[in-house]
């Protein structure tokens, strides 16, 4: 996956701060047009990695290219081919919507003849065509987020970095945001996204999990579920969910409420299912359904982090 | 590069003038300061309240008092009946000067045996005013005795003492202070607008967004400075215009030269402002730091107190105050009408200081960004 079809290609990328190793020899390849999810708990090295990929921070070891430019020797060129949007919606609240668009169009040097059409595109994409002269600070969060995205891609960058782009945004806006991202990827933009929301990881084509500066797992969401999850997940539907939870916990079964059902993590689905049914029914709880389900990515990552 | 600077600068101007509080700070506050300095802060000693205890009541004593009142420096506000009452008036602060002419004053003058005695008590709490009042008394009394002596001894050896004041012939402290006020107002406002323009981005987190754009640190610095520089020039024009047209401060030198020197002076201020932005995390900190720099810079500049009167160690420190040089320059331009031929040492020093401060701050700024 090297060569002209690779948007991000780094090898043994490392960064130390004094004696602290923030990022430890990570290698990543992201194909053009791919949505690549970069996950990990706080302090795992996510931001440090992104900062190096964006040309903001010099790696202390390893290196590679982003958008075809060397992150060590051509950081300024890298900045011209990337878009960047963070959780903080880095727009100017005291500028109007249009002034923000003009500003970012100016610093990204959008060609004069394209400026108007790009502006119209951003306004339409964010759904604020009639709010050009409104102060950005007064927009609802969801609109602001999409305006920030629009400003970050005014210059149509081949690679787009999104750093926790949906935190603080309501679920509906989040969904429409991801639809936008999907459209951009389909038109050839490479998306590199970090997120905390595990359900969002499913929107990605491929994922990498970083923990303590190292990548501990990598693959498509489905692959990760099948490959890394050694234990089975049982979904239990019973008439008294909370009582059932307590009964099972007393029996030493690791389980938690998942919607209106319970999810139990067990070694073997077949034998455990039988035992759980017996235990619950002997306590007077009617069991409607017990079945083995696909583990969520959250289950996978918790297991992986506990194992490492 | 210029395209990016242009858009950054446009953004800075919009933000600066959109906020009403900042507009007030920039336009109203210099005018308030100017009028305060123009009307209130005067170092002149005129119409001093004076107590007179004339125990002689002669033609001579009345002549002396008449001359004092005619000078305009003294106004006889009280005529106490006793020396004790004079002392009480001084204690109370009702008068600054108490004059006592003892009985026998005129007799002594006529006999020419012993020098005639005159007692002047001055309230020295405000040492500066006291000194000035004393020197006024001394010159009036000197003139008085000179005139008394003249008819009698035509050929007596004498010194004809005539002073002529150059540059500010009326010795108006306003003419001395107002050009300096220009320098002061520019210093405070530009320090704050520069440092806050940078820190604001850091505080709200937009600096991160700017850093991932192709904007280079030097472009950012130049764009951030441009509104402050514009404000600096704008205030200079505003304050000069009001000073000259309203307060009738003379301006004898060349205006283009004043502009040039203002530009050189701004280099130092913007440099210090940039430096403050590298040590401040929030806008409040930037504002505090600006005041922290402002106070010593003013005290060590010779704005009110002459540098020659400071302890030697502090005199050396004043060489690092850009205000020190600029004050000499503006006063030179306004009052003396001198140009580069006289002021080149100050202009050169200011330029070197400005380039050094600006370069160091820009380097520090760049390092802080990375």
Report residue B49: phi and psi, to 5°: -65, 125
Determine the residue of chain B that is closest to A87 in CA distance.
B205
Is B166 part of any domain? Answer: no
Note whether B30 and B88 are same-domain residues: no
Of A53, A4, A54, A11, nearest to A33 (Cα)?
A4
List chain A pLDDT tens, one digit each, 308 residues. 455 688 999 999 999 999 999 999 999 999 999 999 998 888 888 888 998 999 888 999 998 999 999 999 998 899 999 999 887 767 899 999 999 999 999 999 899 899 999 999 999 988 888 988 999 999 988 888 889 999 999 999 999 999 888 877 788 888 888 998 999 999 999 999 988 777 788 889 999 989 889 998 899 988 888 877 777 888 888 888 888 888 888 888 888 887 788 888 888 888 888 888 888 888 888 888 888 888 777 778 877 777 77
Is B267 part of any domain? Answer: yes
Is B167 part of any domain? Answer: no
CB contact (8 A) between residue B206 and residue A95: no
Please list, in sequence order, all residues whose beta carbon lies within 8 angstroms of the beta carbon of residue B107, skipping any fewer than 6 positions away. Answer: none
What CATH number does residue B120 fall under?
3.40.1710.10
The overall longest dimension of chain B from CA atoms, in Å, is 95
Question: Confidence class of residue B159 from pLDDT cuts 50, 70 and 90?
Answer: low
Q: Which residues of A touch B18 (CB under 8 A)?
A: 94-95
CA distance B99 to A271: 117
Note whether B36 and B176 are same-domain residues: yes
A250 Cβ under 8 Å from any chain B Cβ:
no
Of A33, A37, A23, A93, nearest to A206 (Cα)?
A37
B5 touches B227 (CB < 8 A): no
Tokens of A272: 């455990």
Domain A6-226 has CATH 3.40.50.300: yes
Is B356 part of any domain? Answer: yes
Q: Number of folded domains in chain B?
A: 2
Tokens of B289: 């730091």
Please list, in sequence order, all residues whose beta carbon lies within 8 angstroms of the beta carbon of residue A101, skipping any fewer than 6 positions away. Answer: A118, A119, A122, A123, A147, A150, A151, A154
CA distance A155 to A152: 8
Compute the nearest-CA separation of B358 from chain A (Å): 24
Determine the residue of chain A that is closest to B205 in CA distance.
A90
Note whether B96 and B217 are same-domain residues: no
- For chain A, positions 95-114, list CB contacts with chain B under 8 A: 95, 99, 102-109
Closest Cβ opposite residue A54 in set B205, B212, B370: B212
Average pLDDT, chain B: 86
Determine the residue of chain B that is closest to A78 in CA distance.
B214
Is B63 part of any domain? Answer: yes
Compute the nearest-CA separation of B6 from chain A (Å): 8
Note whether B323 and B219 are same-domain residues: yes
Q: Classify A229-307 by CATH class.
A: alpha beta
pLDDT at B150 over 70: no
The stretch B109-133 carries a mean pLDDT of: 82
Q: Do A6-226 and A229-307 share a fold? A: no
pLDDT for A78: 92
Which of A10-14, B143-147, B334-338 has the largest mean confidence?
A: A10-14
pLDDT for A295: 79
Closest Cβ opposite residue B206 in set A58, A90, A161: A90
Is B362 part of any domain? Answer: yes
Q: Which residues of A touch B5 (CB under 8 A)?
A: none
Last residue of some domain: B123, B152, B181?
B152
CA distance B140 to B135: 9
Closest Cβ opposite residue B14 in set A57, A88, A99: A99
Report helix, strand or coil for B99: strand
Note whether B178 and B296 are same-domain residues: yes
Compute the nearest-CA separation of B21 from chain A (Å): 13
A261 touches A235 (CB < 8 A): yes
Note whether B37 and B57 are same-domain residues: no
B270 touches B228 (CB < 8 A): yes
Write down the domain spans for chain A.
Answer: 6-226, 229-307
Question: Confidence class of residue B326 from pLDDT cuts 50, 70 and 90?
Answer: very high
Q: How close are the terminal C-alpha atoms of chain A, in Å?
A: 28
Note whether B179 and B296 are same-domain residues: yes
CB contact (8 A) between residue A106 and residue B4: yes
Note whether B80 and B181 are same-domain residues: no
Closest Cβ opposite residue A94 in set B4, B18, B213: B18
Question: Confidence class of residue B155 from pLDDT cuts 50, 70 and 90?
Answer: low
Note whether B104 and B200 are same-domain residues: no
Determine the residue of chain A that is closest to B366 in CA distance.
A56
Is B321 part of any domain? Answer: yes
How high is the ipTM of this complex?
0.74
For helices B255-279 and B173-204, angle between their N-to-C axes, nearest 10 degrees: 40
Note whether B141 and B187 are same-domain residues: no
Within chain B, residue ranges assigned H as helices are 2-18, 20-35, 59-70, 83-92, 105-111, 127-152, 173-204, 206-211, 217-245, 255-279, 283-299, 312-317, 322-331, 340-369
Q: Which domain holds residue B84?
A: 48-152
CA distance B223 to B6: 7
Last residue of some domain: B118, B152, B186?
B152
Is B271 part of any domain? Answer: yes
Question: Confidence class of residue B29 from pLDDT cuts 50, 70 and 90?
Answer: confident
Note whether B311 and B359 are same-domain residues: yes
Enclosing H/E stretch for A22: strand A20-31
A1 touches A50 (CB < 8 A): no
């Amino acid at each position: 996956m090297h060569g002209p079809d690779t948007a991000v290609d780094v090898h043994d990328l490392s960064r130390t701060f004094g004696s602290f190793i923030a990022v430890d020899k990570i290698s990543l390849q992201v194909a053009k047009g791919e949505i690549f999810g970069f996950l990990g708990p706080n302090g795992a090295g996510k931001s440090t990695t992104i900062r190096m990929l964006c040309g903001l921070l010099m790696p202390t070891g390893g290196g590679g290219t982003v958008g075809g430019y060397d992150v060590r020797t051509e950081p300024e060129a890298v900045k011209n081919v990337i878009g960047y949007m963070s959780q903080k919606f880095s727009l100017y609240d005291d500028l109007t919507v249009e002034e923000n668009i003009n500003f970012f169009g100016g610093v990204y040097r959008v060609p004069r003849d394209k400026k108007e059409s790009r502006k119209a595109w951003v306004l339409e994409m964010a759904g604020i065509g009639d709010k050009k002269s409104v102060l950005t600070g007064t927009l609802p969060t969801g609109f602001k987020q999409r305006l920030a995205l629009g400003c970050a891609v005014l210059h149509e960058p081949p690679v787009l970095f999104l750093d926790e782009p949906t935190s603080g945004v309501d679920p509906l806006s989040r969904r429409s945001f991801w639809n936008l991202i999907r459209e951009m990827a389909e038109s050839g933009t490479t998306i590199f996204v970090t997120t905390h929301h595990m359900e969002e990881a499913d929107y990605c084509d491929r994922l990498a999990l970083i923990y303590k500066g190292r990548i501990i797992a990598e693959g498509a969401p489905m692959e990760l579920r099948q490959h890394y999850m050694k234990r089975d997940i049982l979904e239990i539907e019973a008439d008294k969910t909370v009582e059932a939870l307590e009964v099972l916990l007393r029996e030493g079964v690791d389980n938690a409420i998942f919607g209106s059902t319970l999810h139990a993590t067990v070694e073997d689905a077949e034998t455990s299912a039988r035992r759980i049914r017996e235990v619950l029914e002997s306590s007077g709880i009617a069991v409607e359904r017990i079945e083995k389900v696909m583990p969520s990515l959250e289950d996978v990552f918790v297991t992986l982090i506990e194992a490492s | 590069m210029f395209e990016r600077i242009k858009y950054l600068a446009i953004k800075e101007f919009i933000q600066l003038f959109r906020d009403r509080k900042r507009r007030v700070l920039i336009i109203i506050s210099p005018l308030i300061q100017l009028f305060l300095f123009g009307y209130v802060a005067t170092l002149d000693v005129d119409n001093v309240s004076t107590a007179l205890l004339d125990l002689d009541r002669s033609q001579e004593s009345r002549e002396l008092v008449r001359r004092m009142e005619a000078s305009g420096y003294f106004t006889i506000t009280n005529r106490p009946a006793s020396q004790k009452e004079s002392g009480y008036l001084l204690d109370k602060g009702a008068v600054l000067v108490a004059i006592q002419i003892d009985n026998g004053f005129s007799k002594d003058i006529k006999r020419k045996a012993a020098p005639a005695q005159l007692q002047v008590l001055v309230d020295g709490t405000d040492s500066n005013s006291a000194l000035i009042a004393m020197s006024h008394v001394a010159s009036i009394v000197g003139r008085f005795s000179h005139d008394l002596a003249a008819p009698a001894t035509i050929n007596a050896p004498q010194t004809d003492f005539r002073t002529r004041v150059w540059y500010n012939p009326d010795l108006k402290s306003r003419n001395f202070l107002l050009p300096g006020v220009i320098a002061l107002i520019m210093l405070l406002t530009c320090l704050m607008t520069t440092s806050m323009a940078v820190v604001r981005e850091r505080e709200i987190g937009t600096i991160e967004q700017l850093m991932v754009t192709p904007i280079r640190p030097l472009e950012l610095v130049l764009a951030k400075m441009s509104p402050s520089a514009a404000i600096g020039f704008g205030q200079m024009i505003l304050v000069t215009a009001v000073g000259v047209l309203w307060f009738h401060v003379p301006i004898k030198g060349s205006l283009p030269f004043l502009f040039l020197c203002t530009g050189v002076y701004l280099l130092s201020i913007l440099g210090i402002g940039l430096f403050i932005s590298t040590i401040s995390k929030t806008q409040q900190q930037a504002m505090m730091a600006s005041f922290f720099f402002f106070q010593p810079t003013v005290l060590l500049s010779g704005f009110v107190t002459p540098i020659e009167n400071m302890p030697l160690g502090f005199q050396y420190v004043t060489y690092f105050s850009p205000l020190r040089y600029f004050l000499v320059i503006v006063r030179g331009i306004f009052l003396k009408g001198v140009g580069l031929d006289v002021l080149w040492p100050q202009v050169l020093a200011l330029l070197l200081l400005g380039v050094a401060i600006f370069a160091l701050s820009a380097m520090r700024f760049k390092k802080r960004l990375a």
